[in-house]
Structure 1
Amino acid sequence: MSWQKFRVIYELHSPLHIGYHKVGNVQRTRYYIPARNLWGAVTEALTRRGFSTKGVSSGNYQQVGEWVKTHCAFGYWFVYENSQKNSQKNSQENSQLLTPCYCGDGLKYGNLSVTEFERRYLDSHVTTALDSKTNSAQHGSLHEVEFIAPYSRQNGARTQVSGLVFLDDEAKKILNWEYWLSNLQVGGERRYGFGTIRLIEMEPEDDPITCTRPCQSVSKNTSFLAHVSVTTNVQIRGQIEPLVGRVTSQSHAFGSSLTSAIVCWTPGSIPMDDVQVQFEQEGYWVVL
């Protein structure tokens, strides 16, 4: 089986919230889009738009989801600062993918500190439920949702995200990405219109590679761009967290079940040796 790697760029057309953890009344967001969220967004889009093929019935979420897991693979997608677009705003900054890295002076996103990244790209939305009897805020219902803003505070340009997509021989043959997936809705708070992204560019990178699952080399002292299973003897500098996802097994019970936790190094962690990683179906990487 061979896999073709593509680099995609999407732009945000609404706030983007990727559930992380809660601090007080604030529901925090991740500063990137994990592969599992992309798998869910692609599965939903294909199912709703009537995609079908051999062994996959139109409208069947489970069958479409399994097909996507088998024939597609995703890297994590990160905020992308596009110098060509920003030049229209008289910005002199170079294009850069704002990937996390546990550098000597702490966690950074591209060449931005966490504080500067948050200043440019994060915002929040406060909501509360109303008590119909008193027509006032319902006790305990106040909450704040953090999100990646659709426009940068730095120059007012629309926020873009970029990352990798791998398609195997079958997917390349029958899945016209631009036709089926030019618009996606990813992440949480979608009932409020969050997470709408639109395709700007999709370009192939490198020649097709022959392997069971897509693989990639990571040089020592270069940050991991995904969660990486800790089941490795390689020395790594960074942080560890349990990676848990939600599963929708019934159409009326969205995200009602949880996957088993996988202990992983977080994106931005740095290996002390050259390693080869494999993109797993569940979205994380394993060191080979």
Structure 2
Amino acid sequence: MSEDEWGKINVVFKLKSPLHIGYMPFKGSVVSPTRYYVPGRNLWGAVTKRVTEHLCENPTANNYREIGKQVMENFRFSYFYLYDGKTIYLPRYTDEGVKYGNITKAEFEHRFIGSIVSTGIEDKTRTAKDKSLHEIEFINSRFRDENGDIKPVMIAGCIWIKRGAEIEQHNLEKRPDGIFIDGFNIISELFLGGESKYGFGHVLLDSVDGVNFPLDCIRKSNNHDEYCEGEVRIKCRENKPLLAHLRYSRKIKFKGDVELLTGRGYYDPLKLKNGEKDKNHTRPGEVISSPIYYFSPGTVLQEKVDCVLNWDGCIELNLQECEK
């Protein structure tokens, strides 16, 4: 495979509304916590939705499924992290606990994280339903800087597009201002994460290649990204924090955390990618994907490793040497 098989762009989105990236709740006052970053899987889902609804007048579940598979084949997404115009707030496990950028977790939460409390209402009595009190954590769309000025919250990351890629026989084109299908910019506006009933998750494209996202691709001497057997390869450096979930290996010494990842949807994307048959499901969240252990973002490895970037932004060890 050619080193030019994939084209990479650095992307910044501006939050137009708060953002909720849900995951397994923990014990505490917040019933529905949010992640403090956006996994690549969420970008895959948002781009799949955007492309499907552009190409299909009345999209069916099968349209979403088939186009989702083509997005898997033709795109790679990094994780996206909060950006304030100066700093990308990357997590890092330290002896003092988790830090985001150079600030503590408590400072990060005070600056960027909020929550709302809601309750269900009884139709007949118009009073609160019993045991329906629900708190939802979210990333704010605005923050107050050190001077007290209100500024927009952004997220920064990168996207790879396969050269000559097509979706439903429509060419994908990477331009300086976005990614286009038939003149339609598929990343100009996306909806990420959950709690859309509150208007959450609306992001707008802010810039392309205006910010350099610090993800290390393995490079050749000509300084181009190197791709092996059609894959994007990522270098995880010794004593540097992970910028994505890395599939767990007992052989790797680390300082950080390990978590079990799973997801809910209309279908299991991994089965789709592998060509496995799955039942037709019509309800959101009906299918739970197989759980797998991963090192969490921010975990510091005590050795350097060569990894492959997957369709969902997760990375895993590259077990085979590439042929030069």
Match of 1:145 in 2: 136
Q: Aligned with 2:209: secondary structure?
A: strand
1:106-151, Cα deviation, whole Å (9 max, x unpaired):
1001111000000010111211111122221111111011000000
**d(CA) in 1 for partners of 2:264, 2:46:** 13
Partner of residue 159 from structure 2, selected from 165, 175, 197 = 165
Q: What does residue range 41-120 of structure 1 map to in structure 2 within 5 Å?
A: 41-50=46-55, 60-82=63-85, 95-120=86-111
Deviation at 1:170, TM superposition (A): 2.6
Amino acid in the other structure paired with 2:125: T
Amino acid in the other structure paired with 2:239: N
Taking a change above 3 Å as real, the CA distance of residues 200 and 25 of structure 1, as seen in their structure-2 partners, is closer
Deviation at 1:59, TM superposition (A): 7.9
Match of 2:275 in 1: none
1:4-36, Cα deviation, whole Å (9 max, x unpaired):
221100000001000023245521000000011
Is the 8 Å Cα contact of residues 48 and 59 (structure 1) preserved in structure 2?
no
Partner of residue 40 from structure 2, selected from 20, 35, 39 = 35
Taking a change above 3 Å as real, the CA distance of residues 221 and 266 of structure 1, as seen in their structure-2 partners, is same
Partner of residue 150 from structure 2, selected from 146, 156, 161 = 156
Deviation at 1:190, TM superposition (A): 1.2
Partner of residue 248 from structure 1, selected from 242, 250, 266 = 266
Match of 2:306 in 1: 276
With normalisation by structure 1, the TM-score equals 0.88
| Identity between Structure 1 and Structure 2 (%) | 32
Deviation at 1:159, TM superposition (A): 0.4
Amino acid in the other structure paired with 2:313: G
Is the 8 Å Cα contact of residues 77 and 312 (structure 2) preserved in structure 1?
no
Q: What does residue range 190-229 of structure 1 map to in structure 2 within 5 Å?
A: 190-203=196-209, 207-211=224-228, 212-229=230-247
Is the 8 Å Cα contact of residues 50 and 59 (structure 1) preserved in structure 2?
no
Deviation at 1:41, TM superposition (A): 0.8
**d(CA) in 1 for partners of 2:77, 2:56:** 19
Is the 8 Å Cα contact of residues 76 and 312 (structure 2) preserved in structure 1?
no
Is the 8 Å Cα contact of residues 71 and 170 (structure 1) preserved in structure 2?
no
- Greater RCO (Cα-Cα under 8 Å, separation 6 or more): 1
Deviation at 1:255, TM superposition (A): 2.1
Larger fraction in strand:
1
Q: Aligned with 1:131: secondary structure?
A: coil
Partner of residue 290 from structure 2, selected from 260, 266, 281 = 260
Is the 8 Å Cα contact of residues 4 and 209 (structure 1) preserved in structure 2?
no
Amino acid in the other structure paired with 1:207: H
Unaligned runs of 5+ in 1: 83-94
**d(CA) in 2 for partners of 1:252, 1:132:** 27
**d(CA) in 1 for partners of 2:242, 2:190:** 25
Amino acid in the other structure paired with 2:297: P
Is the 8 Å Cα contact of residues 246 and 296 (structure 2) preserved in structure 1?
yes
Q: Give the aligned length.
A: 272
Partner of residue 116 from structure 2, selected from 125, 133, 140 = 125
Taking a change above 3 Å as real, the CA distance of residues 259 and 175 of structure 1, as seen in their structure-2 partners, is farther
Larger fraction in helix:
1
Amino acid in the other structure paired with 2:291: A
